[in-house]
């Protein structure tokens, strides 16, 4: 599990969080990405601008974390809390993956110049040296999310989810 990770940077304003994702967004960067999104949401940000112009690939774990966040944002809207995720300039491969996984509807896709409606300042991204157990748990949750969102994903990910669940169980039992 040592594939190179993408680079994630963030700038924040009063209501807008601008997140730039570059390179390969994979399971290695998923834990830090999930923590970042949860922290920003807990701080009350309502507009999430994700610039994926230079993101060459998102693996299923990263996509599952992103989709899970999309669900949270959309659930908040059902509670009359206005929040938005704008996904700027996804390449054809990423857009196709989002569509095929049945999660594209969770995001407002925008192509063109990346715009954040307010001035933002760079902020720190917490980077963790996540344990194998944390990475495995994040991978499992991400794949379960993708299967929960779209029943067509069950056939794609059930074996992966089963393997991850068994691996996690082994880690917890100390085998």
Residue 169: Cβ within 10 Å count: 10
- The stretch 23-36 carries a mean pLDDT of 94
Sign of CA dihedral 28, 33, 38, 43: positive
The pLDDT value given to residue 2 = 46
CA distance 16 to 47: 5
- Span 50-65, pLDDT tens digits: 999 999 999 999 999 9
The answer to whether 147 and 157 have CB atoms below 8 angstroms apart is yes
The answer to whether 20 and 31 have CB atoms below 8 angstroms apart is no
**Average pLDDT for the chain:** 91
- Predicted structure pTM score: 0.91
Looking at beta carbons, which pairs linking 111-116 to residues 24 or more positions away fall under 8 Å?
Answer: 112/88, 114/49, 114/51, 114/53, 114/88, 114/89, 115/49, 116/11, 116/13, 116/16, 116/18, 116/47, 116/49
- Span 140-169, pLDDT tens digits: 999 999 999 999 999 999 999 999 999 999
CA distance 107 to 25: 17
Coil, strand, or helix at residue 97? helix
Q: Cα-Cα-Cα-Cα dihedral of 20, 23, 27, 31, to 10°?
A: -30
Q: Which two tokens stand for residue 33?
A: 């990405």
- Span 101-148, pLDDT tens digits: 999 999 999 999 988 888 889 888 878 888 999 999 999 999 999 999
């Amino acid at each position: 599990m040592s594939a190179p990770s993408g680079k994630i940077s963030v700038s924040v304003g009063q209501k807008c969080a601008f997140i730039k994702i570059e390179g390969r967004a994979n399971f290695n960067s998923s834990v830090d990405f999930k923590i970042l999104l949860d922290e920003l949401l807990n701080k009350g940000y309502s507009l999430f601008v994700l610039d994926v112009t230079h993101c060459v690939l998102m693996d299923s774990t990263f996509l599952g974390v992103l989709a899970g966040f999309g669900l949270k944002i959309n659930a908040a809207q059902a509670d009359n809390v206005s929040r938005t995720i704008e996904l700027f300039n996804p390449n054809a491969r990423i857009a196709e993956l989002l569509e095929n996984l049945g999660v594209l509807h969770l995001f407002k896709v925008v192509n063109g110049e990346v715009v954040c409606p307010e001035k933002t300042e760079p902020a720190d991204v917490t980077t963790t040296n996540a344990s194998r157990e944390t990475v495995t748990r994040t991978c499992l949750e991400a794949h379960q999310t993708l299967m929960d969102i779209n029943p067509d994903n069950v056939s794609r990910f059930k074996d992966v989810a089963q393997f991850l669940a068994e691996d996690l169980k082994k880690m917890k039992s100390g085998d």
